[in-house]
Structure 1
Amino acid sequence: MRLGRWTHASGMLLGLSLLLGGCATAPTPSTRQALDRLLADPALNGASVSLMVRDARSGSTLYQHNPRSRLTPASSLKLLTTAAAMDVLGPQYRFSTQLLSNGARQGERLNGNLYLRGLGDPTIQWADYQALAAQLAGQGIRQVQGDLVFDDTWFDAERLGVDWAHDDESTYYGAQISALTVSPDMDFDAGTLLVIAKAPAVVGQPVSVEISPATDYVQISNRAVSGPGNSYGLNRQHGTNLLRLSGAVAPGKQSQQAVSVWEPTQLVANLFERALAEQGISVQGRRVIGGTRPTTATVLAVHESAPLQELITPLLKLSNNSMAEALLKAMGRKTANAGTAAAGTAAVAGFLKRQGVDPATLNQVDGSGLSRRNLVSAQNLTDLLLAASKQPWFNAWYNALPIAGNQDRMTGGSLRYRLRGTSAENNLHAKTGSMGGVSSLTGYVTDAQGRQLVFSMVTNNYVVEGARIKVLEDRLAAALAQWAH
């Protein structure tokens, strides 16, 4: 889920005029009344809200409203997943992709199977697979006498999370999870391809279509044309890799979208066979999907990701679901030798318990927050923020959070268009969350006298436009940044 694309200048000015009428030691009656008025906003009629504000140093509660009510947090759940990963896997953890063989070399011939083994790297790209093939060619191998086996068994075969919505299936944020996958760009949306539709200058003519990385793994049904109206649409037909383009793209313009594929391992197979062919390496045997490399196989080439302490920046700034799900299953593999979501959530629960947070007070079923079965309270989230602030890896994690109003995409992330011109700008470090009827904002903010606060606001079951709830979250954050004591 990529969020934070709302601009609310008028709403924030109204909110600030309501909230910043007085400054005194918190919580003063005026501050409390202002937050009470915020919660009484008509946009929240019939909605459920869990809200908590605490002193980051002492942990004392400054304001609360239904703090223990469990609600769907959307992407604020990534706070649990990433904090646990920094503890369970460690800041220096790297994903690995290996090229192995159980065969013997005979000149340019490899007499045995070649295994491409994925250990869940959501950041690996087409160029990295090309580099693996080049490493093999650099060893003088030009022919593989055995099979080409694609080993994705480090994770289970459950490609989607529990109760993920069917209408998210073709989106980049609902992509299938595999231990052997590929990302099309530096946003690391693993399991997707970029579809670039370019409209000619002549109205009514069909758009041209480019796929990146180039592959024949998908098929195109192109009914999109050059024309006015901004009605262009792209989706993938369920159970297939048929991409359907429709509507209109403005003349002379282009649209670039990421779309998920059906079975990412098969896409990797398609791409890696092409990478081998580019290096002049032929494979005489079969393509085998889901085979397991023998323990006696020798590693011929390796690609490693950046360390986790760097990966959490794109994950949290851009709210990357694929990366969060990979981390969850990697934790399951580390702690229980099972690359499953259930083992991963058990690992998160273990981390929470070690921090004094009772995991029985919440429910987590995935790593990203895409499932509506996730249930977390503002109390849970602020407990996590307080616990994280005491960890040796805290600074890296804190800096990876989106920073309000900072226009740099990899600094401001999902908050880059929010809270500009307020005391929260370049101050608030927080995670956003949004789905239909769900919005959340959870993080750290420093008040007018330099006191750091932690807070969480989770809102469910509203029927107004989500942007109206974001305005209320921004009013809250701006008010907290203005507290004086």
Structure 2
Amino acid sequence: MYFGKWISTSGMLVGLSLLLGGCASVSQTSTPTIIDQLMADPALNGATVSLMVRDARSGSTLYQHNPRTCLIPASNLKLLTTAAAMDVLGPQYRFSTQLLSNGTQQGERLSGNLYLKGLGDPTTQFADYQALAAQLAGQGVRQIQGDLVFDDSFFDAERLGVDWAQDDESTYYGAQISALTVSPNSDFDAGTLLVTAKAPAVVGQPVSVLVSPSTDYVQLDNRAVSGPGNNFGITRQHGTNLLQLTGALAPGKQSRQWVSVWEPTQLVANLFEQALAQQGIQVLGRRVIGGASPAAAKVVAEHQSAPLQELITPLLKLSNNNMSEALLKAMGRKTSNAGTAQAGVAAVADFMQRQGLAPTTLSQVDGSGLSRRNLVSSQGLTDLLLATARQPWFDAWYNALPIAGNPDRMTGGSLRYRLSGTPAQNNLHAKTGSMAGVSSLSGYISDAQGRRLVFSMISNNYLSSAAPIRALENRVALALAHWHD
């Protein structure tokens, strides 16, 4: 989930008008010819592009450029993960977090262990854990005479995806995956904390720091000061929860950053113990991380997420990596009783086969697209886009895609600043993807005659900045909106 810089519309419109040669020559230059010219842009020198355009109703190919060349899709892989999840888990699927006990209650005492069991919910916030503690207190419990066990066994212990970059580890989009996690916000950036720094008016003085939700699970090494330079930054030292704040923040300014933690389960333990204490509940036993809940344990309180058909909106609009990984492992748990990425990938492959798609045309190792081992072609993604359009849940999935030029954050998503004031505005529904040297855009757009098109454009190994590549993607989208043979 990394968006980088946004591109202004004016430059794209100028570029497209030059390619079209002005309004008078629109009828003289076919859209395939225009796209051919776009594919010859110097920004793509040395790069590889896979591009395919098809009629959404018939599936017929309207344009292709290296359509079967498999490239790194970045977050365009989320199209596959979410579509498979809607099929495998179902639109009404809800994640759950449970409090269980194998003991008995005698007055205010609960004899036996108390288990907090995570079933993979990436949307659980501190308030939800407080509500679980309040449910327990509402039953009259004030003392736990056993251990407090934090059960994250629904997923495996692999916290990061295959070949995720080391320098992504402290970022919100590279957060660790756990079946028992916490999100600091309604964007559901699970496994992270919100760190707010504010620079005092006096230059040279240290910045003030606030961590939310409040916890002593992380430690601060605050070397950041108020001053010029605009080079303030936060990193987390590998293998620890030491947050290092460095650089300068302009006087009076504030910075808000989401920083991942090492071992989210233990952050949940810290926060849930706070929640119990707030309810006046005392735990006499030990804190146990990673223990499994006994089969005979009974649920004493539960929190459920919103249904999947609602969760895919923040996931796709904001390109949420951790939610994608949770869905992948949840699919593996449902189909193979194994909460692993490998089992999830197998579940996705089964979904593809049921849709008449060939899993052998794809290499998938995670759910979010953060790994560079993922490979797919534009033909593979357009095959997927055509197949999803036949599903009973398609409308919810289609509406969850970012919508070009719509300024509302939970409507336009990662496309809200692109293609405003053009025929693609509120027309293009598509997923973006971005990594160093990788950009992708795949989705649906209607042409001037109202015909819906599906397309996918994946660019790899370009040496320019991302800006001219995104400009090219936008010009391709505009050409499709103006399609003429």
Name the TM tier (shorter chain).
over 0.9
SS in 2 for 1:470: helix
* Corresponding position of 1:173: 173
Structure 1: how far apart are the matches of 2:88 and 2:357?
16
Structure 2: how far apart are the matches of 1:152 and 1:196?
29
8 Å contact from structure 1 (residues 71, 375) kept in 2: yes
8 Å contact from structure 1 (residues 4, 416) kept in 2: no
- How far off its partner does 1:20 sit? 3.9
Structure 1: how far apart are the matches of 2:43 and 2:367?
29
- How far off its partner does 1:250 sit? 1.2
Q: TM-score, normalised by structure 2?
A: 0.98
- Verify: 1:55 aligned to 2:55, yes or no: yes
Structure 2: how far apart are the matches of 1:5 and 1:153?
39
- How far off its partner does 1:32 sit? 1.7
Structure 2: how far apart are the matches of 1:151 and 1:20?
60
Kindly tell me: are residues 19 and 357 of structure 1, through their superposed partners in 2, closer, same or farther at Cα, counting changes over 3 Å?
farther
8 Å contact from structure 1 (residues 449, 484) kept in 2: no
**Deviations, residues 179-209 of structure 1 (Å, cap 9, x unaligned):** 0000000110000000000111111110000
- Verify: 1:344 aligned to 2:344, yes or no: yes
* Corresponding position of 2:126: 126
8 Å contact from structure 2 (residues 7, 470) kept in 1: no
Structure 2: how far apart are the matches of 1:59 and 1:22?
31
Structure 2: how far apart are the matches of 1:193 and 1:159?
17
**Deviations, residues 231-290 of structure 1 (Å, cap 9, x unaligned):** 101000000000000111111111000000000000000000010001000000000000
Structure 2: how far apart are the matches of 1:10 and 1:388?
33
Q: Residue type of the partner of 2:35?
A: L
**Deviations, residues 123-165 of structure 1 (Å, cap 9, x unaligned):** 0000000000000000000000000000000000000000000
- How far off its partner does 1:484 sit? 4.4
Structure 1: how far apart are the matches of 2:19 and 2:88?
41
- How far off its partner does 1:22 sit? 8.3
Structure 1: how far apart are the matches of 2:78 and 2:306?
19
* Corresponding position of 1:154: 154
Q: TM-score, normalised by structure 1?
A: 0.98
- How far off its partner does 1:4 sit? 6.6
* Corresponding position of 1:252: 252
- How far off its partner does 1:211 sit? 0.3
* Corresponding position of 1:369: 369
Structure 2: how far apart are the matches of 1:152 and 1:185?
21
**Deviations, residues 275-323 of structure 1 (Å, cap 9, x unaligned):** 0001000000000000000000010000000000000000000000000
- How far off its partner does 1:13 sit? 1.9
Q: Residue type of the partner of 2:174?
A: G
* Corresponding position of 2:231: 231
Structure 1: how far apart are the matches of 2:367 and 2:229?
37
Structure 1: how far apart are the matches of 2:19 and 2:476?
8
- How far off its partner does 1:392 sit? 0.3
SS in 2 for 1:329: helix
1:421-460 maps to which residues of 2 (within 5 A)? 421-460=421-460
SS in 1 for 2:419: coil
- How far off its partner does 1:227 sit? 1.1
Q: Percent identity?
A: 79
SS in 1 for 2:115: strand
- How far off its partner does 1:8 sit? 2.7
SS in 2 for 1:80: helix
Q: Residue type of the partner of 1:254?
A: Q
* Corresponding position of 2:333: 333
- Verify: 1:7 aligned to 2:7, yes or no: yes
- How far off its partner does 1:408 sit? 0.5
8 Å contact from structure 1 (residues 23, 483) kept in 2: no
8 Å contact from structure 1 (residues 20, 482) kept in 2: no
**Deviations, residues 360-396 of structure 1 (Å, cap 9, x unaligned):** 0110000000000000000000000000000000000
- Verify: 1:389 aligned to 2:389, yes or no: yes
Cα RMSD over matched residues?
Answer: 1.5
Q: Residue type of the partner of 1:183?
A: S
1:153-302 maps to which residues of 2 (within 5 A)? 153-302=153-302
* Corresponding position of 1:76: 76
Structure 1: how far apart are the matches of 2:29 and 2:255?
51
Deviates more, 1:8-17 or 1:347-356: 8-17
8 Å contact from structure 1 (residues 22, 31) kept in 2: no
* Corresponding position of 2:412: 412
8 Å contact from structure 2 (residues 5, 467) kept in 1: no
Structure 1: how far apart are the matches of 2:406 and 2:75?
20
Structure 1: how far apart are the matches of 2:178 and 2:260?
12
SS in 1 for 2:469: helix
SS in 1 for 2:30: helix
Identify unmatched segments of 5+ residues in structure 1: none
SS in 2 for 1:117: strand
Q: Residue type of the partner of 2:78?
A: K
Structure 1: how far apart are the matches of 2:194 and 2:254?
12
- Verify: 1:304 aligned to 2:299, yes or no: no
Identify unmatched segments of 5+ residues in structure 2: none
- How far off its partner does 1:23 sit? 9.2
- How far off its partner does 1:422 sit? 1.1
SS in 2 for 1:220: strand
Structure 2: how far apart are the matches of 1:285 and 1:378?
56
* Corresponding position of 1:107: 107
Structure 2: how far apart are the matches of 1:276 and 1:401?
39
8 Å contact from structure 1 (residues 233, 246) kept in 2: yes
